[in-house]
Structure 1
Amino acid sequence: MKFLYLLLIFVVTLQHSAGTHIRIKNNGYELVVVAIHESVKENAQMLTSLKKIITDSSKVLYSATRHRAYFRKVFFLIPSTWSSGLADKDSTSVNLRDADIIISDPSSVSRRSYPRTRSYAGCGHRGIHIQLRTDVLFNSRHPLVQGKPEKYLVHEFAKYWYGVFEEYPNPGENQFYFSTTVGRADPVRCSTGLRGRIMKKTQSGIQLCSYDSIDPDTGEFPEGCVYYPYPSHNQGTASMMDHSYIQEIKDFCDDDQTPGHFSHNVEPPNRQNRLCSHRSTWDIISNTPDFLNNANPPGSLSDSQLTPQFIVFRAPSRRRRRLAVVLDPPQEFHKRLRLHQAVDHFLTEGFDDETKVAIITNAAHRKGTRMRSRRSAAVKSSLQSIDQFYSLSTMRSRIRRGIEILKKRNSTKEGMEFHLIVISCNNQSGFETEVLQEMATTGITPHFIHCGENGIENMEKIRLQGGHAESRNQRSIFYAVQRLSDKLHDEKDVSVQISNENIELDGDTAYHSEFSLDDSLRGELTIRLHYSTSEPSVQVVAPNGSECIYKSTDRKLRYIRLTSLVSHNEQGKWSITIKNKTPNKESINVLVMLQPIISEDEVPIRTNAWVKVFHEHSPPRVGVYAEVMNGGHPVVNANVTAHVYHEDRKVAVIPLRDSGGGFDIMKNDGIYSNSFTEIESQGRHYVEVMIEDVLTNSEIHRTYELQLPTEKDTEDDQHDLHAPRLDYHTEKIPLRHRLKRSTSSGEFHVDHRWDSLSGGYDYPPARINDLTVTRVNRKDRKVSLSWTAPGSDLDNGRASSYEIRYNTNGTALVLNPKKGMLVKEDMLGDTSGKPKEAGQVETVTVQFPAKMKWVAIMLRSIDENNNAGEFSNMVTTYFVL
């Protein structure tokens, strides 16, 4: 029992950002979490089948990683609607959205539309999660599985955990490319040892497309010709990132050039080559932290040793939260007021009536610190006592008092969870190690929000115990408590934050603003105005002209709260007018949020934001990301900006793009990205993300899977069976009303040593990863190219020039692009001269020399200081066959 309880403590770690809870130790991956979505009906046999698939996957992974990695310990999270007898233990504080693998029913189209692995950070970096569906994983004839679900799972795990990508063409991508190696069109595949047939449907049946049928003018096969790899009888054993179900495939493609070995094919325009600078998948995987510098060297394990240990947890039918909130406010009254207002907001909005709270401001006052309802008069009174200076006890004693209260209330009831929340704006900067150990053994989850000058001690240990830890400046305290609230709630219970503004209102003046509720929102709208000195007047008007009349005021905590129930006919533009009735300046925080009504077919558009520091570069690079999703479907064409603060000063406003260029690796996937390059200010930085669709351009892209049938040759030979293909249909749904959201990410730290690493903050332009050929004039040898413009500093600003290189040998160009021939000025046409601003589409036409039969092309951008970016992905075309 004690062993299972400790496992429960480990599982809680998945509350941290996805991907960070898995650990590899002595070649074995531990804490891999597989969550079954509530849309899946109870099925004990499915659970047994899942264990079999993962056991087989462990052996496949061990072979594919050359005896370096396998699955040692796997946790299942089953829905609360499933029988308790299927689980080893009920779980608490486990959130499905943070699992590594999420399995849903195909009927859950509004949340999880089609199988995929969500990624954002690019080559060699971990993704968000793996999304699977029951009708894919357990259908032996599905195109992605083909009777080998264990190989399919390893294929997806490699994308998620190692940051590699598909080596086959995805739907919508070209199935063929011009190969400079063989001098003709060839199927997009990793290894040339991958054999198959090119066929097309005709009225009389299936017809083979021979290489003789290639049109010499277009260089393409006849319309309708499709490449079908053989499910067996292939040469070579790679690649797991290509059609992994093929019988002979068991390895990742490498760069071994030994005669007879079918190594990585650098030429095809697949995602792996495009996003990973044409490096092989094994080159990427072997250089991840799991294996770099001989970490986890090859072993020799038996099949029984490769069988994972499985522990099944069951989500609680309801959550009973016990919160001990320890406050350490600043001495300044206005900052202390903001902190108390934020904590009141945290407790008032969102939690159910099962939640019990103790507010701890003084360890000596024991009578006032027992657990009470979050809406109780005692809790409200504790927060309204803003004049206290908390000088009668130390923070250490207050934390100790919080632990004592939670231990006293400890219980084994289903769904019971215990959280110690410390918000410190003074000298306290974290939990001591022995205190964290005590909380781990007693089932208490630690959380720490710091709004002082120092950083947080033991931040990673707090997060490893499933807690939330972040530093914030005083102006961002409402964002901090909102992020903590999101962490403590299930996805369906998280409120939607529309806006979070801090305004300064001069005396006897009015502030007028508008916000929009889009098509996906209905539920209870809440507007909170937190003022500093004197109560302002406020008027909120709905789209139908009616006023928001449900209003309450707390004059001790100095805020006004307005609520309204929003139905479909109240979506659209709302207006808010605030008037300062005094001659003095007033500081006001305006928070607009909605608690949505959710059904399986109707979910709100949600946002999430995060920051990633890429330490492999010198100086490190900072990527800023925001996700805008409607259930499992991306929202595209949104206007997303990141506002970066250092202390109380805004240092940058960054446009985030979903263009598929530079830091943004995938176009129209709902993840908006860019880099932060203005790092003259050292120390902690905070990011707030605003989404405001002024022109109503946003669209929901709902994508559905289309399975194409198996094809057979007309010839009677041993290769008559060919795998079916997969395609997708995307339904584009425009929003009728404007989209508006507000969220924030965690902090990031700019180290003073970054300056010495670069001799200044002069970043090169970002790598171009979406170079394409748009048109070819074969007679005149003119090639039109297109790509997304990077900036002068990564993805910001405007580059100074482009350097275009070419070669008749694509492999040689990839291996050494600088030795390729340079496109000179007199070879260029259709250009405006100066490069465009970052994020815009560039086009150029190049006229290549006479007598060239074909060409491979790469380019890079150069800034005004002659700093060159990395070379782009390679494209090929031909002039004469």
Structure 2
Amino acid sequence: MASKAAAVLLLVYLSGSTFGIKLTGNGYTDILIAINPEVPEDPVLITQIKEMFKEASRHLLNATKKHLYFKEVAILVPPNWNKGNYPKAKTEVYDKANIIIDEPNKLHGDQPYTLQYGECGSEGRYIHLTPDFMLNDDVSKYYGPRGKVFVHEWAHLRWGVFDEYNEEKPFYLSGSIIEATRCTINITGKYIHKHDQRDCTTDPVTGLYTEDCVFYPDKQQTTSASIMYNQGLSVKEFCTKETHNTEAPNIQNRLCGNRGVEEVITSLSVDAGVAVVPTPPSILPTFTVVQCRQRVVCLVLDVSGSMAGSRMLNLRQAATLFIQKIVEDQAYVGIVQFTATATIREPLTLIDGEASRDKLAGSLPLSAGGGTDICAGVKKGLEVLGGDGDGAMGDAIILLTDGESSINCQKSVNESGATVHTITLGPNANIDVKQLSDISGGKYHNAADGVDSNDLVDIFTSHTTSDGNLTKYLNIICLFFQQLESTGLNMIGWFNGSVSIDRTIGNKTSFLVIYERSPPDILVLSPFTRTYDTSHFKHDASAKTLTLDIEGTAETGKWKYSLLNKESTAQSMSMTVTSRAVSDAIPPVMVKTHMSQQFSNGSKPMLVYAEVNQKGVPVILADVMATLKSDSGDQYEIQLLDNGAGADAFRNDGIYSSYFTELTTGKYSLKVKVHNNDGMARFSLRRHSGALYIPGYVVNGQVVMNPPKPPISEDDLQADVGSFTRTVIGESFSVSLPPGVPPPNFPPNKITDLNAEIEEDKVLLTWTAPGEDMDQGTATAYEIRFSEDSDLLRSNFSTAHLVTYDLSPKKAGSPEKLSFTLFSIIKNGTTLFFAAKAEDKSFLKSETSNIIQVTKIVPKAPVPSPTDAPDTSGSGVNITAIVISVTTVTMVACLIASVTMCSIKSRRVNHRMFL
């Protein structure tokens, strides 16, 4: 456990996935469903949304034993829908939607799914539904009733539970019985060959049904669970602690420690411990339909005495970039400055060309002096927003301050309906201003001093707006703005770097250089060796910036840049490169990042997430690095991985993750840089957290088959984008440890990818090494145990049979291998279960790993034909196979094992046990 100061930051580039959802009594309120601009206008879609929620409310009430239902839902229609008279949205924006209705993407098609980042019990980001699923019964029927499908996805989104089916492992052995992966075990049906409906055959090597076999459940079931297995059946509930199938090799068991869905809801989820109140007479939700309009924003800027000098310069540089490059055409922008009083520097101004941008940039404050009254500035900003005659509702304030004045304008902000985004500058700014963001749904960022940090530029760059369409309707408010590079240094001599322009971007590409005292010499070299020097840059001496705008579409490939500080002493300089989508037809590669918590008291580690995708399709094999910086100056570089181990729940799903464990009191910022310099990035085929495509049912004893699930073409998943670079930031985050309490010490992370296979006569266990503190550093020891009892490993791990505990762990993230040679004879059908724990130098142990099942299968000898000569060369069969399936059970065995482990130094340590 490192003891150095640090903490964490949170972004929500897509503002918190379940942002705003509240549980009022038994009813969920502030649910936001947003429609993408690519969806054609259709009032029937709104009707179908309402009907789905009404149906879902009834199903949710039944599934939660009359406890929970849907109470209030807002529907956000896109700005290009013009046939209805929709009221103006308040704080509802596409980026905060809990449910998105959008055209199908290549990976999921019309399958309803939920974007989940990982941890069991943690809220998801959003539910994705398609117009065809909502409008076409011939599409939705393959998933089940829309209301029940929605409850399945809601469980992913709200409670952080996972699917109880497994398309990759549809069968497993329970003792000597082949079972379908499902919950509960009482789900009945038939095992049928999918091509000709004959009975399934068993693979003699695995002991399981062959891959052409499908389990077709009875549509009418006598058991009541579970919706998380197959939402199309007559089941009405979730699996309970008593009914949950702990043996099934599904994601729910792997990530939730074999807990049933109801157990997770009541003990781990955001709704754990919520008091139950009597259900009202009506459980039908109420609906509000609103529409987003053009952006209206007011910059409210602190110019008190403490802002003098470099802070005022930083303010002008960042605000100028926002006005000149970030805010979209047809938006309205105003400017307010405040000290002890507030002044309007520019009323709302329509952005309709370079002249309007230049006028606004020229109105930014130049000097600082006086006291600080933050709320005076906020109230004046609300006054400016009301200058369009439409009030401040749905508009936004970007508030920048370094001051410590009291905050007493929460009521005014709340009543206005405006969103306040707050930026605190320096270590002494009053973090209480974050309250204004919290109550209005805005973002909060903390910026460090100094040009070389580039924090303010990064923050203002992040204040883009989107209605969900990344490439079209640019003349409205649907802008895609991607920051490619943001780097700063305090240096003498040359400052060199490069940035990749990929095939998805290139329009309105800009290179912005910020300097501290005197302008540097600049060289920019395009991929096809076109050279741009200082003479090509537009110089703003008052803001100390130089800007190069690339005409047309920028060349694809690596752009190199060099800055020369001509002074004899070091000065701060930075380079920021920005670009927009290349065309309407090519969605850009997007990166979003956030932390698992916005506030930490040190009681549990934090997780850093970055999502890399192109139109919802995961982009894998990228290099992702997070930089976390505290307001005291400590900085931490953390590599984020998509390896399905440690903090990362799913391998190759485009979600890159890591733990952040070095928590000390303070405010933190988060920046993530993504590189794919070798052009080897790919799209991923992996899907999870979606409604099951139902292969068919058994109705009155007859199998009724559905068409096969639409396949995914490998050709469609080739990421032909070239090398790319992205930089994004997240919202600032704070850590507050109890006074006098040392920084927390965390155990190694839970092993979640324990796996097994047979190599000749050996069973090989593999997993990814955990760390000393979660997935950081190197653990001290492993404890690996086995049993034949499926519940023993989970409930009483230390009493199971010990395999070994003195193996030398490798560095976190490294592959581990452990092999067993079986000397004694295990009879046909013997099933063993293995699990592991890791230990650190403080003797803290991880949670028990996922549990792996190993069954010995001795294939039957083929029956000789009458013409075959009898085999007298031996008695019996000497071919053995081990069937492996991940599960959550336990184990016992009588065997003599030789254990081999590859240590860090590649030495082999042998252990022989007599059990």
Same fold (TM over 0.5): yes
Distance 1:344 1:436, change over 3 A: same
Aligned counterpart, 2:673 = 690
- Match runs of 1:148-159 below 5 Å: 148-159=145-156
1:616 Cα shift? 10
What is the CA deviation profile of residues 691-722 of structure 1, one whole-angstrom value per residue up to 9, with x for unaligned ones?
Answer: 12243332233789999995688xx9624325
- 2: distance between equivalents of 1:392 and 1:161? 45
What is the CA deviation profile of residues 465-485 of structure 1, one whole-angstrom value per residue up to 9, with x for unaligned ones?
Answer: 132223222232222222334
Distance 1:769 1:707, change over 3 A: closer
1:592 Cα shift? 0.8
Q: Does structure 1 residue 562 correspond to structure 2 residue 562?
A: no
Q: Does structure 1 residue 225 correspond to structure 2 residue 224?
A: no
- 2: distance between equivalents of 1:605 and 1:15? 15
1:293 Cα shift? 3.3
Q: Give aligned pairs, total.
A: 820
1:741 Cα shift? 1.2
- 1: distance between equivalents of 2:371 and 2:826? 89
Aligned counterpart, 1:771 = 754
- 1: distance between equivalents of 2:773 and 2:289? 48
Contact 1:89 1:313 in 2 (8 A): yes
Aligned counterpart, 1:39 = 38
- 2: distance between equivalents of 1:725 and 1:614? 43
Distance 1:577 1:185, change over 3 A: same
Q: TM-score, normalised by structure 2?
A: 0.83
Aligned counterpart, 1:662 = 646
**RMSD (CA atoms):** 3.2
Q: Does structure 1 residue 422 correspond to structure 2 residue 395?
A: no
- Match runs of 1:777-792 below 5 Å: 780=761, 782-792=762-772
Contact 1:167 1:271 in 2 (8 A): yes
Aligned counterpart, 2:895 = none
- 1: distance between equivalents of 2:360 and 2:633? 34
Contact 1:326 1:402 in 2 (8 A): no
Aligned counterpart, 2:775 = 795
- Match runs of 1:301-450 below 5 Å: 301-302=280-281, 305-316=282-293, 319-328=294-303, 330-354=306-330, 355-361=332-338, 368-372=345-349, 375=356, 379-383=360-364, 385-386=365-366, 388-391=367-370, 394-411=373-390, 417-428=394-405, 431-432=407-408, 435-450=409-424
**Matched residue SS, 1:810:** coil
Aligned counterpart, 2:625 = 641
What is the CA deviation profile of residues 757-789 of structure 1, one whole-angstrom value per residue up to 9, with x for unaligned ones?
Answer: xx6543211011122223366xx5x32222222
What is the CA deviation profile of residues 332-379 of structure 1, one whole-angstrom value per residue up to 9, with x for unaligned ones?
Answer: 512321122111112211223432322424687857443445646653
- 2: distance between equivalents of 1:43 and 1:516? 40
Q: Does structure 1 residue 472 correspond to structure 2 residue 447?
A: yes
- 2: distance between equivalents of 1:537 and 1:111? 49
- 2: distance between equivalents of 1:518 and 1:70? 46
What is the CA deviation profile of residues 161-209 of structure 1, one whole-angstrom value per residue up to 9, with x for unaligned ones?
Answer: 1100000114xx21111224xx33321111111111112245xx22111
- Match runs of 1:585-664 below 5 Å: 585-599=570-584, 601-613=585-597, 619-647=603-631, 649-664=633-648
- 1: distance between equivalents of 2:503 and 2:582? 13
1:739 Cα shift? 2.0
Aligned counterpart, 2:224 = 237
1:451 Cα shift? 1.2
- 2: distance between equivalents of 1:221 and 1:754? 60
Aligned counterpart, 2:884 = none
- 2: distance between equivalents of 1:131 and 1:271? 20
1:144 Cα shift? 7.3
1:242 Cα shift? 0.6
Contact 1:14 1:98 in 2 (8 A): no
Q: Which amino acid aligns with 1:465?
A: S
- 2: distance between equivalents of 1:403 and 1:493? 25
- 2: distance between equivalents of 1:154 and 1:560? 53
Q: 1:179 aligned to 174, 178, 185, which one?
A: 174
What is the CA deviation profile of residues 796-829 of structure 1, one whole-angstrom value per residue up to 9, with x for unaligned ones?
Answer: 1222222111111223333322221111379xxx
- 2: distance between equivalents of 1:360 and 1:373? 19
Q: 1:810 aligned to 790, 798, 805, which one?
A: 790
- 2: distance between equivalents of 1:812 and 1:197? 31
Contact 2:420 2:442 in 1 (8 A): yes
1:669 Cα shift? 1.5
What is the CA deviation profile of residues 14-36 of structure 1, one whole-angstrom value per residue up to 9, with x for unaligned ones?
Answer: 98422120111110111111112
Aligned counterpart, 1:197 = 190
Distance 1:821 1:426, change over 3 A: same
Aligned counterpart, 1:482 = 461
Contact 1:804 1:822 in 2 (8 A): yes
Instruction: Structure 1: give runs of 5+ residues left out of the alignment.
Output: 1-12, 257-262, 827-832
What is the CA deviation profile of residues 600-639 of structure 1, one whole-angstrom value per residue up to 9, with x for unaligned ones?
Answer: x311111111112399997321111111111111110110
- 1: distance between equivalents of 2:283 and 2:598? 33
Contact 1:229 1:723 in 2 (8 A): no
**Matched residue SS, 1:221:** coil
1:323 Cα shift? 1.5
Distance 1:271 1:536, change over 3 A: same
Distance 1:338 1:541, change over 3 A: same
Aligned counterpart, 1:134 = 131
Distance 1:393 1:184, change over 3 A: closer
Q: Which amino acid aligns with 2:169?
A: N
Q: Which amino acid aligns with 2:441?
A: G
Contact 1:327 1:361 in 2 (8 A): yes
1:101 Cα shift? 0.9
- Match runs of 1:527-606 below 5 Å: 527-548=511-532, 550-565=536-551, 567=553, 570-599=555-584, 601-606=585-590
Q: 2:844 aligned to 867, 870, 878, which one?
A: 867
Mean Cα deviation higher: 440-449 or 237-246? 440-449
**Matched residue SS, 2:53:** helix
Aligned counterpart, 2:891 = none
Contact 1:611 1:747 in 2 (8 A): no
Distance 1:754 1:672, change over 3 A: farther
What is the CA deviation profile of residues 59-87 of structure 1, one whole-angstrom value per residue up to 9, with x for unaligned ones?
Answer: 000110111110011111123333443x5
Aligned counterpart, 2:911 = none
Q: Which amino acid aligns with 1:175?
A: P
**Matched residue SS, 1:625:** strand
- 2: distance between equivalents of 1:117 and 1:744? 24
- 1: distance between equivalents of 2:219 and 2:402? 62
Q: Does structure 1 residue 750 correspond to structure 2 residue 735?
A: yes
Distance 1:494 1:416, change over 3 A: farther
**Matched residue SS, 1:222:** coil
**Matched residue SS, 2:411:** helix
**Matched residue SS, 1:457:** helix
- 2: distance between equivalents of 1:33 and 1:167? 27
Aligned counterpart, 1:20 = 19
Contact 2:323 2:361 in 1 (8 A): no
Q: Which amino acid aligns with 1:837?
A: K
Contact 1:18 1:128 in 2 (8 A): yes
Distance 1:619 1:288, change over 3 A: closer
What is the CA deviation profile of residues 563-619 of structure 1, one whole-angstrom value per residue up to 9, with x for unaligned ones?
Answer: 103537x110111111122222121121111122441x3111111111123999973
Aligned counterpart, 2:901 = none
- 1: distance between equivalents of 2:204 and 2:357? 81
Instruction: Structure 2: give runs of 5+ residues left out of the alignment.
Output: 1-11, 471-477, 859-915
Q: TM-score, normalised by structure 1?
A: 0.86
1:683 Cα shift? 1.5
Contact 2:402 2:425 in 1 (8 A): yes
Aligned counterpart, 2:877 = none
Identical amino acids, percent of aligned pairs: 24
Distance 1:40 1:753, change over 3 A: same
